[in-house]
Amino acid sequence: MRFPFLYLAILPILFASCSSLYMPNVPNTPMLSSKGELNAAGHTTLKGNVSVNAAYAPGEHFGILLNGSVMNNNRARKDFNHNLIETGLGYFDTFGPENNRILEIYLGLGKGNSERVYKDKTSAGIVTEDRQETNFNKTFIQVNYSSKRKQDLKLFGARFPLNYGTALRISHVKMTDFKRNDIDQIKEDNIFLEPVFFTRMALSNAVQIQYTSGSNFGLKNRKFLTAGNSVFSLGLVINVGGRDMGVSGQPMP
C-alpha cells in the first residue's frame, strides 16, 4: 500500500509546470455503506481549488452525488478562474470477512467554465496579453474502492483510526464555446483518466480528516484541454448514519 501513496504524492510535483483550461475537482469518495447515510466534505488544493462534495444513500445500494468546485487564483502574470458543478447516481455495496470493504460505481454529468488571463507589467500598467475563456460539459464514470479497516495512528498518547481508499474517474470534457481575446476558436474535447488515493483519519465517529493525492492523464493530444493539473488536497469529511468508523482519542495501553 505504501508505494502507490508515495507515487501519487510525487505526481502533482511532476505535472506542476503544465497548464490546462480544465481544473479537476476532488473526486467524491463518500464510502457509503448503508441506507440513509449522509456524507459531506470540503477540500482545498495547494493552488486554491476548493471542492465541496455531498452524497446520500436513499436506498440500501443506491447513492446520489452532488459536487462543486471553484477557484480564483490571481497572480502577477496569470489569473485563473474556474467553476464546476456535477451530479451523479450510482451503486454501492459492502463485502469482505467483516463487511467493511466498500465498492462504489457512479455515473455523472456536469457543467463548468474557465478563464485564463496572461498579463504583463509595463510602464503604462498591467496589460492583458492573452485571455482564454471557455464553457464546457462533462460526463464521467467513477469507481471507488475503500476499506473501513481500523488501522490506527498513534498520536499524542491516543489512537486515531485510519481508513484508505482509491478512486478511478474517467471524464469526458467537451467545450461548448471557446473564445480567445473575444474571438471564437475551434472547440476542443478530451478524455481524462483521473486516479486518486485517499487516506482518512477519524477524529470522531462522524468527523474525519482526508488527504487526497492523484493526477489526470489526457487520452487526446490537445493544446488547451490538456492533462496539466493534478489533485493534491486536504479536507474535512462529515459522515452520518454509516457503519461505525471507530471513536478517536482512545487512550493507548
Contact (CB, 8 A) for 91 and 57:
no
Number of domains in the chain: 1
What is the distance between the alpha carbons of residues 163 and 32, in angstroms, rounded to a whole number? 13
Residue 31 sits at the vertex; the CA angle it makes with 85 and 50, to the nearest 5 degrees, is 35
CATH of the domain at 192: 2.40.128
Contact (CB, 8 A) for 56 and 38:
yes
* 235 inside domain: yes
Nearest to 34 by CA among 15, 54, 17, 55: 55
The pLDDT averaged over each successive group of 10 residues in the chain (253 residues) is: 41 48 95 94 93 96 97 90 98 88 97 95 80 97 86 72 93 98 97 95 91 94 89 94 53 39
* 253 inside domain: no
* 172 inside domain: yes
What pLDDT is recorded for position 190?
A: 98
What is the distance between the alpha carbons of residues 63 and 8, in angstroms, rounded to a whole number? 27
Domain extent, residue 28, equals: 2-241
Phi, psi values for residue 146, rounded to 5°? -145, 165
What is the distance between the alpha carbons of residues 112 and 134, in angstroms, rounded to a whole number? 9
Query: What proportions of the chain, in percent to the nearest 5, are helix, strand and coil?
Result: 5, 65, 30
* 249 inside domain: no
